[in-house]
Structures are given as structure tokens and as C-alpha cells.
Amino acid sequence: MKTLPLSVNPPLFIPFIVAGDPAPDVTIDLALALEEAGADILELGVPYSDPLADGPTIQRAAARALDGGMTLPKAIQLIGAMRKKGVNIPIILFTYYNPVLQLGEESFFALAQENGADGVLIPDLPFEESGPFRELGERFGLPLISLVAPTSKQRIERIASAAQGFLYCVSSLGVTGVREALPETLGDFLREVKRHSRVPVAVGFGISAPGQVAMLKEVCDGVVVGSALVQKVEQLAPRLQAPDEREAAVAEFAAYARSLAAPLREAYSSR
Amino acid sequence: MMERVPNEYGRFGDFGGKFVPETLMLPLEEIEAELDKALADESFKQEYIRILQHYSGRPTPLTFAPNLTRQVGGAKMYLKREDLNHTGAHKINNAIGQALLAKRMGKKKLIAETGAGQHGVAAATVAAHFGMDCIVFMGEEDIKRQELNVFRMKLLGAEVVPVSSGNRTLKDATNEAIRYWVAHCDDHFYMIGSVVGPHPYPKMVREFQRVIGDEAKEQFLAREGKLPDVIVACVGGGSNAIGMFYPFLQDDVRLVGVEAAGKGIDTPHHAATITKGTKGVIHGAMTYLLQDEYGQILEPYSISAGLDYPGVGPEHAYLASIGRVRYESATDDEAVAAFQLLAQTEGIIPAIESAHAVAKAVELAREMPPDETVLICLSGRGDKDVQTMMRHLGAREGEDIATVR
Ligand SMILES: Cc1ncc(COP(=O)(O)O)c(C=O)c1O
């Protein structure tokens, strides 16, 4: 089995935004801004009617994107458009399984490959159900990013040893959404995962403050920031869609992203 | 001979499985392990049966329906009276079983989702009985439609959480219950209300509902000296139907599941998942569901809140795919007519869900000879539906309810 063709160097800043929130052309600008702000990998969320692993913030973003007519094929094609506009960092598609099934697994990978995607993350396709899909992805050179959670316990070793690209650690019990506090046991959990993993270990779910990032940089290889950024997009949405205000709004978004990434950069310059 | 399902991966043929966030995999494994131990444990089974008898009033009767039979003029019609259960429907069978399992696992907090409120009431009831906490998720739309059941749950001491996501009905309540479970799986037990969801739920709920079919088989043999020719049950998620069908799967009996056709299966307003749906994943299981071409789940419609679900239990998807059970549908109007017919011929007011089964059974019985028999799973009683019926029948201008028949 190959580990994956993601050429990235920790520490990793991995922002998440939803394709088509608030509009497809805005998503492209946000992706460019994130790359400029120092993103190492972009997680592009595909909106879904029934996002079981997501809290209210991302649910609302998905609803906005779906109202605008976003679909899985369009989200994948949006990656192609991003590539044309100069987004160069690896892009991971974050989608629930059902839309992939309806598109067809082969068609999905073929379209993703054609449009320059670099990997896939499916929150409702756990390890046991993922075998054939993972192998199919390998044929297209597209890794399936695995998740481990605080409840994974004896499953960690099995999942980590098969991980490709990077390993996504869910910080705490629950769905996506900003959290005031991360669990005290998170450090131990991340160290345990790192012991078993051959790929970088990134942590996500609830990360919304530079202070948290500063703390986490000590125990893992990267952070995924989703709801905090999506919340920012929600706040800025009217301005992002007003032609004469968009540039300023995108800059504000980029500055916010940069503030979250900053502690990671300090970590490495001070070592 | 059919293969034994589900297999160790929770698959019924192509259907079933566990399509859930990683966080839930361990809780599901724990439930699976404990369920297998419990089902092999005589004392667990005895306690379950004892509570069914002394608390819920089982065994429920098998009732011959002579007036209905005469009026229809075909096969003899029998009713399995799940309406006579405590709380008024078959849902309590499952709630008692799962509460016992929760107790065995040391969990004292129950999570449930509900549409019409029948499963929510059953969950709240067993929570009170076993001294547990109960939190019930219910869509805001359904809360409006089913005020009485909301109040019943509160009287029983449960907390009812209104769900404002999506279309605010059962699908969304189930999403929210699962999200809550993901956050609280360390000390909560998720008590699902039908044979849906990730493995082992479809199997577990079947095992706690098969008492319907086990009893019915014995009662029918005692009464008629043979098995019924046809068995009919309504299908929402499919728990009363599986409970009734399962003990007859190996027998030479025609099994018919009835889905809700709402305003007609050729309109967008129905909940006929097997009849009109396509294969995909909903609430953690591979099954048939109502969805658009991009895999977004569609909102179903039925006059009956209990059948108003865009998915169906994976075992039904499997039984449909191998042709063992035939799935048909009945419209709102057909169900309403059957509701009135049963009320006026037999003095039994069925749940509007069950009335869908009655409607199809009448249609089938009419074409059968008088020496054949039809058994209907009367899954619940219709007290909860009286207001809906008033609205529905009142809407037909100038019609006199008493003479609709
Ligand atoms: C009386 C009754 N029958 C049937 C159903 C449908 O559920 P299932 O298909 O799981 O039996 C319900 C659900 O609320 C119900 O209350």
C-alpha cells in the first residue's frame, strides 16, 4: 500500500470551507486567500442535506450552498476552477458517502482526479466499510483520509497503520462546532495516535483560537480549522457577495485565517 | 433456504452495515457484544417476557373480524392486536427490550427520536418504569402536529427537544438524536424506534419485535389449525412489519408490506421508499431511500406521521430485493377509508399507520376465496389520530362523517 502523494511538511494548517458558501466564485477567492494565508492543505466541504457529523454552523453553510444549487459534481469541478485560478496546495474533498454513491464511486474518483483533487475524506465511511473504496482511490492516486476519535481506543492501531496522507484526529466527542475548551485528555490521545501513525497527525473539531493552536502544536503535526472559519464566512457573507466590498471582506477573512495559523509558524521558527 | 442475516458485518445481502462517524464505532461494538450476550441469556429473556406480560399486557389477542370479513366478502380476516399494548402501539415491545439492555450496560440515560410521538412516548414510559432519564428529539413541525403526544412525554418526565434543522420532521429528529449521541455516547444509550440505523440496531429491534409474529403464529395455529395465507403490515421504518414477518419467513405464507403512498406515488408527496426509492445510505445504513439524483435526501409525505420517513429498514430492502416480501402502498385517502371501515364494522379505531395495512388487506381479501385467511398486523390504536381525522374529514365539504361508509 502506498502512503500518499501529498507533499506537505508539518506543521500543517488545514482550513475547511464549504463549496458554494455563500457562492461558488466566492469559494474560489476564499481558497486563494487561504493559500496566501499559509494553508498547507485545503479541505473543501461538499454540502449535504443530512450532515450527521456536523454541528449547526456547518449545517447552515451546507444549506446556503445547497440553496445556491451546489452538488457533488459541481464541487469537484470547483476544484478544477481553483486550479486554473492558481490554487496550488493539495485539496481534500470532504463529502458524506451518499452523494458519492449516487455519482458512482469510479466516476467520483475519475472526476476528482481530472479536476486536480488530492484526496478524499468521508466522515460516515468508517474503517470497516472503507476497504474497496480505499483501494479504488489508490488506483486513481487519491488517498482516503482516515479519522480516529477519542472512542477509537483499541481501533487506533489498526486505523493508524493503514492511514494515508495524514491522519485526522477528532478532538473530542461530538459533532463539528467551535468549543470553548478541549478535553484535558487530548494530549495523551494525540501522543497515543502519533505512536502508531506513519503519516502526519492533525487534530480537528472545535479548534477556534490561536491559543488552542499554540497548545496543540506541541503534541501533533497540524490542526484542522472548520467551524471557526465557516462562521467567519457566514458573518462576511453579505459583503463577500457585494462586488465593491468583496476584496476587503476576503482580506478580512485571510487575516483571520492567518491569525489562527500564526502559532504554528512560531513553533517552528523558535525551535 | 435463505441465508442467515445479518452477517457479522451487519449486512442483509447488500444492505445494512455501519455508515457512521468513527466516534460511534466503539459504542456500536459494545452494544453488539452486549446484545449477543443478552439474547443468549435465559434470565434476560425471562425478564423481558415478564415485563411484556405484567406491564404491557402481552400476549396481545388475535381477533377474528367477522363483520369486516362479511362486508369485504372474501378471505377471513384476522387482526393481531398490537393496539392493545400499554401506550397503544407495538413500539413499547422494542422500548422495553432496549431499556433492559441499557440497564445491563449500566446506562441510565436514554436518547430517542420520534415522529408521531409514539416511540417517544414508549421511550419516556420505559424510562419512568426503569428510573432512567430520557431525552426525546422531535422535529418542530411534528411537535405542532402532535401536541398531545408531546405533553404525554412531558407528563412521563421526559425532556422533549425541538429540532429546527432541515425540514423539522422525523428524519431531522433522527439526525439530531444521532448528533447528541455522538457527543454523549460515554454515558447515554441511544434507543432507536424502528429497524433502521447502523448495525446492530436493525437486528436488535427485530429481535425485540419478533414477539408479535411468534405469538401470532401460535395463536393462529391454535385457532385455524393452519398458517394464514397472507400477512399484511404497514411499513414506516419497518419494525412492526419485521416483527410480524420474521417468524414466518421460512413458511409458505405471502407477506405484504404496505408503504404510505400519501397523495399518490406518482406525485412528489409520498413515503413509498421501497416502491419509489433508490439505493443509498441514510442514518448509518445502506438501504432504499427517497433522494434526488445528487444524493440529497428528500422529504417524504404521508398523512401518518409514523410512516413519514424517507428510508426503510435494511432488512426490508433485502427482503424486497430477493422477492420474499412484496411491498405495495396505500394512499392517504385509502387509509382514511380503511380507518373508518374498521371503526364502523368492528368497533376498533386503528392507528392511521395501521389503517394503511387494513386498506391493502381488504383489497387482497376481496379477491380471495372464503376458506383462505388474511392476518393484519394492527400496529397501534387510533386515539392519537382522532384530531387528524377530524381535520381530514372536515375538509371534505358537506360530507357527513357518520355516513361516509
Ligand atoms: C402505530 C404505528 N404503526 C406503525 C408505525 C411505523 O413504524 P414501523 O414501520 O417501525 O412499525 C408507527 C410509528 O410511529 C406507529 O406509531
Q: CB of A140 within 8 Å of any CB in chain B?
A: no
Domain with CATH 3.40.50.1100 in chain B: 18-53+91-205, 57-88+210-403
Of A50, A99, A127, the CB nearest to B175: A50
Residues forming a β-bridge with B291 = B297
Count of residues in chain B: 405
Residue A268 has pLDDT above 60, yes or no: no
- Given an 8 Å threshold on Cβ–Cβ distance, is A50 in contact with B294? no
> Which CATH topology does B18-53+91-205 take?
Rossmann fold (3.40.50)
Of B22, B171, B178, the CB nearest to A170: B22
Q: How close A146 gets to chain B, by Cα (Å)? A: 9
Residue A141 has pLDDT above 80, yes or no: yes
**All domains in chain A, ordered by first residue:** 12-270 (3.20.20.70)
Show Cβ contacts of residue B21 under 8 Å, excluding neighbours closer than 6 positions. A52, A53, A123, A124, A126, A147, A149, A170, B182
pLDDT in tens, chain B (405 residues): 456 789 999 999 999 999 999 999 999 999 999 999 999 999 999 999 999 999 999 999 999 999 999 999 999 999 999 999 999 999 999 999 999 999 999 999 999 999 989 999 999 999 999 999 999 999 998 998 888 899 999 999 999 999 998 889 999 999 999 999 999 999 999 999 999 999 999 999 999 999 999 999 999 999 999 999 999 999 999 999 999 999 999 999 999 999 999 999 999 999 999 999 999 999 999 999 999 999 999 999 999 989 999 999 999 999 999 999 999 999 999 999 999 999 999 999 999 999 999 999 999 999 999 999 999 999 999 999 998 899 888 866 555 555 544
A interface test, pick of B281, B292, B297, B299 with most A CB neighbours within 10 Å: B281
Q: CB of A46 within 8 Å of any CB in chain B?
A: no
Specify the 3-state DSSP secondary structure of A50. Answer: coil
> Which CATH topology does B57-88+210-403 take?
Rossmann fold (3.40.50)
CA distance A202 to A119: 15
- Predicted TM-score of the model (pTM): 0.95
**Judged by CB atoms within 8 Å, which residues 153-212 of B form the interface with A?**
165-166, 171, 175, 178-179, 182-186
Nearest CA to ligand 1 atom 15: B306
Q: What cell was used for A44? A: 473543501
- Given an 8 Å threshold on Cβ–Cβ distance, is A147 in contact with B26? no
Interface contacts A/B by beta carbons within 8 Å: 116
Confidence of residue A5 (pLDDT cuts 50, 70, 90): low
Specify the 3-state DSSP secondary structure of B381. Answer: strand
Show Cβ contacts of residue A14 under 8 Å, excluding neighbours closer than 6 positions. A39, A40, A41, A42, A43, A166, A202, A204, A222, A223, A224, A225
Confidence of residue A6 (pLDDT cuts 50, 70, 90): confident
Please state the ipTM of this predicted complex: 0.94
Confirm or reject: Cβ of B194 under 6 Å from ligand 1.
Answer: yes
Model pLDDT, residue A4: 52
Confirm or reject: Cβ of B89 under 6 Å from ligand 1.
Answer: yes
CA distance A36 to A50: 32
How far away, in angstroms, is B240 Cα from ligand 1 center? 7
Count CB atoms within 10 A of the CB of residue A66: 18
Dmax (CA) for chain B in angstroms is 60
Q: CA separation (Å) from B133 to B3, B91, B138, B148?
A: 39, 18, 16, 21
Count of residues in chain A: 271
Q: What cell was used for B160? A: 422533549
CA distance A36 to A28: 13
User: Of the candidates A154, A55, A167, A148, which has an alpha carbon nearest to the alpha carbon of residue B183?
Assistant: A55
Residues forming a β-bridge with B327 = B257
Confidence of residue A270 (pLDDT cuts 50, 70, 90): very low
